[in-house]
Amino acid sequence: MCFCCNRLNPGVVLALLLFACLPGEGKAFFPEFEEQVIDPEAGTGLAITVSDVNGDGKPDIVGVSSKDVAWYENPTWERHLIADTLRNSNVCIAAQDLDGDGLPEFALGADWQFMNTESGGALFLLHRKESLEEPWNVTTLLEEEPTLHRIQWADTDGNGKKELIVAPLKGIG
């Protein structure tokens, strides 16, 4: 049903009919998930990524909250601090092995200021120390990128090396 004109949308009707005709009423196409709380005190979660932080071959969860960045070790989900909030509020994270040791470094966007398109927004590189029990080394990559909100590693020029794409939500001005 279209909410703006109160009529049936033929595309939606067709999709529903096709779904109804699937084997097992379509249930085979949708996995079942079970909720599992791994950190009830994480604070306001703003971003997550999955990466093998400790090199044991298991995907770990890295969570970004307004107060810190932490990784949760698979399979026990033990919490390990990567860094406290670096500036104002952490907002986004992307993992990439930059030094070739098989372990990820993290780009972290912080200083999120939704209504401020003139200043704020910062980008950091988090690099582990020898012990994973210590907070990580922090390098500032960008002092200011207003409304910085999305980051992703990608090979944009086809040379086999990934570059960091940094995108603000609104931009300057």
Summarize pLDDT for 80-106 with one digit per residue, the tens: 999 988 888 899 999 999 999 999 999
Task: Return the H-helix or E-strand segment holding 124.
Answer: strand 122-127
Establish if 144 belongs to a structural domain: yes
pLDDT at 15 over 70: no
Establish if 29 belongs to a structural domain: no
Side-chain half-sphere of 2: how many Cα atoms within 13 Å?
8
In this prediction the pTM is: 0.79
Establish if 25 belongs to a structural domain: no
- Pair 88, 65: CB distance under 8 Å: no
| C-alpha span between 81 and 69 (Å, rounded) | 6
pLDDT at 26 over 70: no
Confidence of residue 22 (pLDDT cuts 50, 70, 90): low
Confidence at residue 11, expressed as pLDDT on a 0 to 100 scale:
44
Establish if 39 belongs to a structural domain: no
pLDDT at 155 over 50: yes
Q: Judge if the upstream peptide bond of residue 59 is cis by omega within 30 degrees of 0.
A: no
Confidence at residue 88, expressed as pLDDT on a 0 to 100 scale:
82
Mean pLDDT of the region 76-81: 95
Q: Give me 37's structure tokens.
A: 């709380």
CA 148 to chain centre: 13
Q: Give me 27's structure tokens.
A: 């249930």
Is residue 109 helix, strand or coil?
strand
Domain total in the chain: 1
Establish if 7 belongs to a structural domain: no
Task: Return the H-helix or E-strand segment holding 93.
Answer: strand 92-96
Mean pLDDT of the region 59-73: 94
Domain that holds residue 152: 45-168
Confidence at residue 23, expressed as pLDDT on a 0 to 100 scale:
57
Establish if 20 belongs to a structural domain: no
| C-alpha span between 131 and 128 (Å, rounded) | 8
